[in-house]
Amino acid sequence: MRERERKNGFNTLLVLISVCVLFFFLFAQVVTKQLLFRPGPASYEADESIRFVQSEDDTRLAVFWGPVPGASKTVFYFHGNGEDLGQTGFVLNNYRLQGVNVLSFDYRGYGLSEGSPSEKNCYKDARTVLDYAVANLGVDAKRVVFHGRSLGGGIAMELATTRPAMGLIMESAFLSAYQVYLPLTWVPGDKFANSKKAGKVSCPTLVIHGKEDQVVGFFHGEELAERLPSELTKTFWVEGVGHNDLVDRASSRYWASIRSFLGGL
């Protein structure tokens, strides 16, 4: 009788654990689907800086290309989840003042890009845009620095661990999508799992994060820096700024840190 009771109790516990995991999985999936990608109406119109590139499934992607005469390095910039190329134009054009070529694109459903965004599509389209730039724009695949802000950090991290990379910049990036909303690492189906990939990075990396970030807490930046190879990693922690005001409020120091990083590559 006692043995049967123990087995019944064990089976009940397994059912409760399974229900708990399923609940958190479904909750996390719903939350990340609603909050991870938030495209709005396009904030720009096509001009000479915008090219249209076809993805593997013929989805049209809007690509920004800002060449600098004589530049050998190219920064491939990935914007956040509530921005498009028009809203990041200030950063893209300022990068050109640092003496580097600049490449960027709008994720599916953002700006003038067609389709619907997803983690898989972001990775696939980023590779398509990079391959296009190498084949058609004269970009040297071995002299590309990947810079990702917030959501874009997940795409930058993916490329830095699967393609040749001269450098990586992680700005206001998260450990993973789930961990922005839930302090859980055991729930299946997480997205943009930067923390799990950080140890595979083999290029110099700069981690930038505002200490008052209320969207992606400062601890995300700290822990990412700890998981990256210490001998290759530099940090720029910014006092008194949050998630969306970092570049504006720390402008001179922000660009000085990036110039110093690029200059050391």
- Give tens-digit pLDDT for 87-138: 999 999 999 999 999 999 999 999 999 999 999 999 999 999 999 999 999 9
List 106, 213, 220, 257, catalytic entry? 213
Backbone dihedral angles phi then psi of residue 17, each to the nearest 5 degrees: -65, -45
CATH of domain 36-263: 3.40.50.1820
pTM for this model (two decimals):
0.89
List 79, 147, 209, 243, catalytic entry? 243
Report the half-sphere exposure of 117 (CA within 13 A, side-chain side).
29
Residue 181's pLDDT is what? 76
For the segment 132-162, what is each residue's pLDDT rounded down to a tens digit? 999 999 999 999 999 999 999 999 999 999 9
Question: What's the chain's Rg over C-alpha atoms?
Answer: 20
Active site residue 57: no
Active site residue 195: no
List 150, 176, 195, 257, catalytic entry? 150
Active site residue 131: no
Instruction: Give mean pLDDT, residues 13-42.
Output: 63
- Is residue 140 within 8 A of residue 72, CB to CB? The reply is yes
Residue 209 β-bridge partners: 237
Report the half-sphere exposure of 136 (CA within 13 A, side-chain side).
12
- Is residue 209 within 8 A of residue 242, CB to CB? The reply is no
For the segment 2-15, what is each residue's pLDDT rounded down to a tens digit? 555 454 444 454 54
Q: Hey, what amino acid is at 26?
A: L
